[in-house]
């Protein structure tokens, strides 16, 4: 069969040769797509920044196979049967938040129907039921992450609160002027702004790991950045903007070598990677429930026991104390000393149900399914002229996130047109404004996949993008 050739416009060629930090993730995707870096050829227009690339005819493209029974999975997510603008919902905003299976919805509803009471504070039957469910939820979620001692899991409202807890309870009490905090330019604002606040209060200095032309951490500078002055390293496990999977275990090992505390932002890895948290070698790991089929308003902070013991209480009040006098108080044992007030009981119950569900489906199978969708999406989207996809080329180095720009169409306009077609994506800076500046873009559009997404939905995304391109006269 004859290959069809298309011209890659000059701006895209500039991206691929380092003019901006973006790259099409094509290496090793599928044989139907010729790898761009190996197969790019100068075009005939005499412009050294203009290239052409080769894609097999559309008849060669086939939807990827999956080990998941996605049709059956979709049956337990009620919202996926919704219509948007009269069209079937195609939900591709999973990096922002995921949909909930009936197992989670029912667990929360049943808690309020049969067990609604406060925990740890009563001897009546409903309180006992609520306490058993709440404490049992902690055990289940801890086990999901490979944590043997559930007392090492502190409930939070989510990743943002977990990071702020660490910034306040560890950062303000352990850091001094001249100490250094090491972050990366990939960080979500939630893993940047709290440390900016700590640096302003303590006089500590912020330092940053840069990225390479594919949006991967440039670890060639790590030894220079890690010194005896480095007291804290806080790195995202998976970039919410690019999908880059960072080698946090390696970074944790290097951080320990200089005596630094290591925090892993697991907001994007907890839902998508089969993470055994203690094996990462970090001191702390934070995550959110709503990104992993659980409810909003619940998440967790895991810490090694000795690391958690070093934290000052974040909030004061009920349930975090053993004994209170007018002038002083004795604090409770872990994890309760870091959990003041009435907790999100139903949220914990719902999150436990979510971990049960994800375990039953199979986390390795979910990862494989997402990777196959990612490959297919990049393959299909790469057919669209003027399309730029950002992030690592090697799919083993990224999660199911496709961040992209299309010609000069503003990402918000793209998202609006896609919404009219029933396709939900995210547009903006994705709470990573410094990263966007580093990439040389103001914002991007982002599609992100999960266990219930299908190749047909990828096709719907591509069709909607083609329509947007036509509407804008390209």
Q: Which of 411, 406, 416 is nearest to 466 (CA)?
A: 406
The pLDDT > 70 percentage for the chain reads 86
Give the per-residue pLDDT at 67: 81
Tell which residue, 339, 377, 370, has the closest CA to residue 268.
Answer: 370
Pick the closest to residue 277 from 300, 310, 311 (CA basis): 300
* pLDDT-above-90 percentage for the chain: 85
Q: What is the pLDDT of residue 320?
A: 95
Which phi and psi angles does 295 have, rounded to 5°?
-80, 165
Q: What is the pLDDT of residues 424-459, one digit of tens each?
A: 999 999 999 999 999 999 999 999 999 999 999 999
In the predicted structure, residue 409 carries a pLDDT above the cut 90? yes
Tokens of 325: 């006098």
Looking at residue 9, the DSSP 8-state letter turns out to be P
pLDDT at 49 over 90: no
Helix orientation angle between 363-381 and 455-471, rounded to the nearest 10 degrees: 30
pLDDT at residue 61 tops 90: no
Q: Are 111 and 136 spatial neighbours (Cβ–Cβ below 8 Å)?
A: no
Domains and CATH numbers, the chain: 4-92+363-471 (3.90.1150.10), 103-360 (3.40.640.10)
Q: Is a pLDDT exceeding 50 seen at residue 11?
A: no
Active centre residues (catalytic): 431
pLDDT of 199 strictly over 80: yes
pLDDT at 50: 27
pLDDT digits (tens, 9 = 90+) for 257-315: 999 999 999 999 999 999 999 999 999 999 999 999 999 999 999 999 999 999 999 99
pTM for this model (two decimals): 0.87
Lowest mean pLDDT across 118-127, 137-146, 197-206, 235-244 = 118-127
């Amino acid at each position: 069969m004859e290959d069809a050739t298309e011209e890659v416009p000059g701006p895209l060629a500039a991206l691929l040769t380092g003019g901006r930090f973006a790259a099409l993730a094509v290496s090793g995707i599928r044989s139907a797509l010729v790898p761009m870096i190996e197969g790019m050829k100068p075009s005939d227009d005499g412009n050294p920044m203009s290239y052409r690339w080769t894609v097999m005819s559309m008849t060669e493209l086939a939807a990827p196979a999956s080990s998941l029974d996605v049709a059956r999975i979709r049956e337990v997510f009620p919202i996926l049967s919704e219509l948007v603008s009269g069209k079937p919902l195609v939900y591709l905003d999973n990096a922002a938040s995921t949909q909930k299976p009936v197992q989670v919805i029912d667990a929360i509803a049943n808690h309020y129907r049969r067990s609604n009471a406060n925990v740890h504070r009563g001897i009546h039957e409903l309180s006992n039921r609520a306490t058993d469910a709440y404490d049992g939820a902690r055990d289940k979620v801890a086990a999901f992450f490979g944590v043997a001692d559930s007392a090492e899991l502190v409930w939070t409202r989510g990743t943002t609160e977990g990071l702020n807890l660490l910034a306040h309870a560890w950062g303000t009490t352990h850091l001094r002027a001249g100490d250094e905090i090491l972050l990366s330019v990939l960080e979500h604002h939630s893993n940047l702004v709290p440390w900016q606040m700590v640096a302003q209060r303590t006089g500590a200095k912020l330092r940053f790991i840069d990225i390479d032309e594919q949006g991967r951490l440039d670890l060639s500078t790590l030894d220079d950045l890690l010194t005896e002055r480095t007291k804290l390293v806080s790195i995202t496990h998976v970039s919410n903007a690019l999908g880059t999977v960072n080698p946090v275990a390696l970074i944790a090992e290097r951080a320990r070598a200089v005596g630094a505390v290591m925090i892993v932002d697991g907001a994007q890895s907890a839902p998508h990677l089969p993470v055994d948290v203690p094996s990462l070698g970090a001191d702390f790991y934070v995550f959110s429930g709503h990104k992993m089929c659980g409810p909003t308003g619940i998440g967790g902070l895991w810490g090694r026991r000795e690391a958690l013991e070093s934290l000052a209480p974040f909030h004061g009040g009920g349930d975090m104390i053993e004994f209170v006098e007018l002038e002083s108080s004795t604090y409770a044992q872990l994890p309760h000393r870091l959990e003041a007030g009435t907790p999100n009981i139903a949220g914990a119950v719902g999150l436990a149900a979510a971990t049960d569900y994800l375990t039953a489906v199979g986390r390795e199978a979910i990862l494989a399914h997402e990777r196959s969708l990612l490959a297919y999406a990049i393959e299909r989207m790469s057919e669209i002229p003027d399309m730029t996809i950002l992030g690592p080329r090697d799919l083993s180095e990224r999660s199911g996130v496709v961040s992209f720009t299309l010609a000069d169409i503003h990402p918000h306009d793209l998202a609006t047109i896609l919404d009219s077609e029933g396709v939900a994506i995210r547009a903006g800076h994705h709470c990573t404004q410094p990263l966007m500046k580093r990439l040389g873009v103001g914002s991007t559009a982002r599609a992100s996949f999960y266990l219930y997404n299908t190749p047909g939905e990828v096709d719907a995304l591509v069709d909607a993008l083609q329509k947007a391109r036509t509407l804008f006269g390209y």
